[in-house]
Every structure is written in C-alpha cells, then in structure tokens.
C-alpha cells in the first residue's frame, strides 16, 4: 500500500498536464497565422510576358500591351490588350521621353496581385525582344551591301576607279577616296540594318542616322568639294599663265595617297589617310556589333561615331585643305 500511494499522487499530478497543452496550441495557432500572412504576401506574383506595345499614357503611368502566347494565367489573356500600371519613375520617364514606340516588341516583367478576384498588374521592367540573327550574318550583310553598291556603280559609270577614287590630275585623290569610303560605309550599314530587320522581324524602314555620323559624312563631302575647287582654280591659273602642268606617270595606289605631286612623302596627306582608315575600321566593328544585337523596335538609329574620332577627322580635313590651298600646283 505504501508504494501505491506515490504512484497515485504522480498520476494525479500528471492530470494537470493539459494546462501546458493550451500554451502549445497557442504557439501552433501563432505559427499558422504567420504562415497565412506569408501566403498573403506571396499573392503578388512576378512573371514575364511577351507582347507588342500598342500605346501608353502621356504621363507614363499606364502601358497598353498586346500579349503574345496561347495560354492565359494570372488573369493575363494572350491576344488581348492588357493595361499595366507603371509606378517606377525610370520606367515612366522612358515612356514619356518616347524611348519606346507603339509596335515595339518587348518582354514585360510584371507584378500580378489579385484583390477581390480582380488581378492588378504593375510594370517592374521592360526590355526589347532581340532579333534572332546568326553570328556571321552582320558581316555577310555588310559585305553583300558593299558589293551591291559597287555593282550598281559599275553599271552606272562603267569606271569605278575613275568615279570614286581618281582626281582631276589623274592620280588617286585623298579627298575623293575618303568621301567614297564614308559614303560606302553609311550606305552598307543602312542597307544591312534594313535587310536584317525586314527578313527577321518584318520591320520596314524607320532607320535614323545619328548626328556625328551625318557631320562626318558631310565633312567628307565638303572637303572633296573644297579640294576640287582649289585644284580646278590652280589648273586654270597655270593654263592662263601657260605654265607647265603636273608631270606624273599615271595613278599609283597607295603611293598617290601619301605623296605630293612631285613624288615626295607628304605629312598632311599621310595624316588624313591614317585618320580615315582608323575611323573606317572602328566604325565597321561598331556597325557589325550593332547589327548582331538588333532589337525588335519599330524605329532604330544607326551607331554613332565617337566624338574623338570626329574631332581627329576634322583636324585632318582642315590640315589637308590648308596644305592644298598654300602649295604650288607642282608640289
């Protein structure tokens, strides 16, 4: 009997255990409530959709997107117009500054939050879809455009060398050569961009030429016109004075581009041709990189010329024209 009493007491004491069970249940309820709270935060999901811009509010607060695809989810219906709210300041500025245009094909990253069974969409990021272009296509397009231009020139003039490179004195002309090089580069880049955008994305036209590239091309034309005018005037003055003209043994490449009329090395001509070559090679590399990364935008701008290259080009042109003006017709 003595040994049974402590056991009975222990059993009575154990009967108080439910009091501790209440605290455990409260903790479990707290955990469940926390989990429910986390679930509510996750209700705003993040997803990416592809589509075509149809328009946007003038203040940049809304974007209208025609959604691509075949299946709908999170309230996004493919083939329909989806209105997406824009709250990010950088995205708003991009729309207001017309960085994006209707008909641009984009990937929109949006936040989808469902309130009272009605989904709300917020724009988180916007990127243009790339045009799928092969690794060798940009270089091949540039080469094809250059060959096509040369063939057209041959059909029109029957004398490519005389039309593009030979000056009035029968020698290779620096001003004419550099003008032809830049004209060919601009045309080849434009035609290549037109072709790649058309066959891969269906876009036609809407290709702009940037400011520095236009300035450089115009500078080449002005230099050629100035050099031609100076040479013509000197030849006319020599004829009027019955002075002997230039004595040369015909066109010689590349010697004519770096030598004076008497056959000696000319620093001004050399400077001009080196700057032209550096600028041309640099632009070919930049143009091929640009063509390889074309995006599915309604309007694009050709790559611009670096301002340093433009300044060097201007110095070279100025030095060449000054030397041309002050030198004698036979030197």
Same domain, 207 and 312: yes
Q: Over pLDDT 70: what percentage of the chain?
A: 70
Same domain, 307 and 256: yes
Same domain, 170 and 292: yes
Query: 19: how many CB neighbours lie within 10 A of its CB?
Result: 8
User: Within a domain: residue 194?
Assistant: yes
Q: Note the pLDDT of residue 312.
A: 77
Same domain, 243 and 210: yes
Per the structure, the count of domains in the chain is 2
The torsion angle over the Cα atoms of residues 182, 184, 185 and 190, rounded to 10 degrees, is: 130
Q: How confident is the model at residue 125 (pLDDT cuts 50, 70, 90)?
A: very high
Same domain, 151 and 97: no
Average pLDDT over residues 85-100: 92
User: Within a domain: residue 16?
Assistant: no
User: Within a domain: residue 265?
Assistant: yes
Average pLDDT over residues 110-128: 86
Burial 104-125 (b: 16+ CB within 10 A, else e): bbbebebbbeeeeeeeebbbbe
pLDDT of residue 274 exceeding 80: yes
Final residue before a domain boundary, out of 84, 111, 128: 128
Same domain, 77 and 195: no
Angle, nearest 10°, between helix axes 174-201 and 211-240?
150
For residues 189 and 286, the answer to whether their CB atoms sit within 8 Å is: no
Same domain, 96 and 156: no
Q: What is 11-37 written as a DSSP string?
A: HHHHTTTHHHHHHHHHHHHHHHHHHHH
Average pLDDT over residues 211-220: 80
Same domain, 70 and 182: no
Q: Note the pLDDT of residue 4.
A: 46
Taking the C-alpha atoms of residue 301 and residue 193, their distance in angstroms, rounded to an integer, is 10
pLDDT of residue 209 exceeding 60: yes
- 193: helix, coil or strand? helix
Q: How confident is the model at residue 170 (pLDDT cuts 50, 70, 90)?
A: confident
User: Within a domain: residue 37?
Assistant: no
Q: How confident is the model at residue 157 (pLDDT cuts 50, 70, 90)?
A: confident
- 208: helix, coil or strand? strand
For residues 303 and 154, the answer to whether their CB atoms sit within 8 Å is: no
Q: Which of 108, 78, 82 is nearest to 94 (CA)?
A: 108
Same domain, 49 and 184: no
Q: Note the pLDDT of residue 232.
A: 65
Taking the C-alpha atoms of residue 173 and residue 290, their distance in angstroms, rounded to an integer, is 31
Which residues, 6+ apart, have CB-to-CB distance to 95 below 8 Å? 56, 57, 60, 63, 86
Q: Note the pLDDT of residue 165.
A: 86
Q: Note the pLDDT of residue 34.
A: 37
Q: How confident is the model at residue 138 (pLDDT cuts 50, 70, 90)?
A: very high
Q: Note the pLDDT of residue 279.
A: 87
Same domain, 123 and 142: no
pLDDT of residue 245 exceeding 50: no
Q: Note the pLDDT of residue 144.
A: 96
User: Within a domain: residue 8?
Assistant: no
Q: Note the pLDDT of residue 250.
A: 66
Q: Note the pLDDT of residue 226.
A: 67
User: Within a domain: residue 28?
Assistant: no
Q: How confident is the model at residue 68 (pLDDT cuts 50, 70, 90)?
A: confident
User: Within a domain: residue 233?
Assistant: yes
pLDDT of residue 189 exceeding 90: yes
Q: Note the pLDDT of residue 234.
A: 61
Alpha-carbon dihedral sign for residues 268, 270, 274, 277: positive
Q: How confident is the model at residue 289 (pLDDT cuts 50, 70, 90)?
A: very high
Domain of 224, in residue numbers? 137-326
Joined together, the tokens standing for residue 157 give 């003039």
Final residue before a domain boundary, out of 107, 128, 149: 128
User: Within a domain: residue 63?
Assistant: yes
Same domain, 284 and 162: yes
Same domain, 172 and 214: yes
User: Of the ranges 16-30, 99-113, 153-167, 254-268, which is most confident?
Assistant: 99-113
Joined together, the tokens standing for residue 218 give 């115009």
CA angle 143, 146, 152 (to 5 degrees): 140
Taking the C-alpha atoms of residue 224 and residue 217, their distance in angstroms, rounded to an integer, is 11
Q: What does the mean pLDDT of the chain come to?
A: 77
Residue 80 belongs to domain with CATH number: 2.40.50.500
Q: How confident is the model at residue 251 (pLDDT cuts 50, 70, 90)?
A: confident
Q: Residues 37-51: pLDDT tens digits?
A: 333 344 468 888 999
Average pLDDT over residues 178-193: 92
Average pLDDT over residues 149-160: 88
Q: Note the pLDDT of residue 261.
A: 66
CA 96 to chain centre: 20
Return the residue matching tokens 């009967």.
15
Final residue before a domain boundary, out of 63, 96, 128: 128
């Amino acid at each position: 009997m003595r040994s049974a009493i402590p056991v009975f007491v222990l059993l009575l004491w154990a009967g108080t255990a439910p009091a501790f069970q209440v605290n455990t249940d409260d903790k479990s309820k707290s955990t469940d409530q926390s989990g429910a709270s986390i679930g509510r935060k996750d209700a705003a999901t993040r997803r990416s959709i592809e589509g075509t811009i149809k328009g946007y509010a003038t203040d940049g607060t809304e974007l209208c997107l025609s959604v691509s695809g075949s299946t709908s989810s999170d309230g996004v219906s493919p083939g329909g117009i989806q209105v997406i709210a824009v709250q990010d300041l950088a995205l708003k500025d991009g729309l207001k500054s017309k960085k994006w245009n209707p008909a641009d094909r984009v990937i929109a990253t949006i936040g989808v939050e469902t309130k009272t069974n009605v989904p709300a969409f917020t724009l988180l990021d916007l990127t243009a879809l790339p045009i799928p272009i092969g690794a060798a296509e940009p270089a091949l397009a540039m080469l094809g455009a250059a060959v096509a231009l040369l063939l057209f020139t041959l059909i029109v003039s029957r004398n490519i060398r005389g039309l593009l490179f030979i000056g009035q004195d029968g020698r290779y002309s620096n001003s004419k050569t550099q003008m032809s090089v830049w004209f060919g580069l601009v045309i080849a880049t434009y035609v290549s961009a037109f072709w790649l955008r058309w066959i891969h994305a269906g876009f036609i036209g809407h290709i702009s030429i940037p400011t520095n590239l236009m300035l450089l091309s115009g500078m080449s034309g002005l230099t050629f016109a100035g050099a031609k005018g100076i040479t013509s005037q000197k030849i006319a003055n020599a004829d009027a004075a019955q002075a002997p003209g230039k004595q040369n043994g015909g066109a010689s490449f590349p010697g004519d581009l770096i030598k004076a009329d008497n056959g000696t090395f000319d620093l001004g001509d050399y400077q001009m041709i080196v700057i032209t070559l550096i600028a041309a090679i640099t632009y070919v590399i930049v143009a091929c990189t640009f063509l390889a990364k074309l995006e599915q935008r309604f309007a694009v701008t050709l790559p611009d010329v670096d301002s340093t290259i433009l300044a060097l080009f201007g110095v070279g042109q100025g030095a060449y024209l000054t030397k041309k003006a002050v030198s004698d017709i036979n030197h």
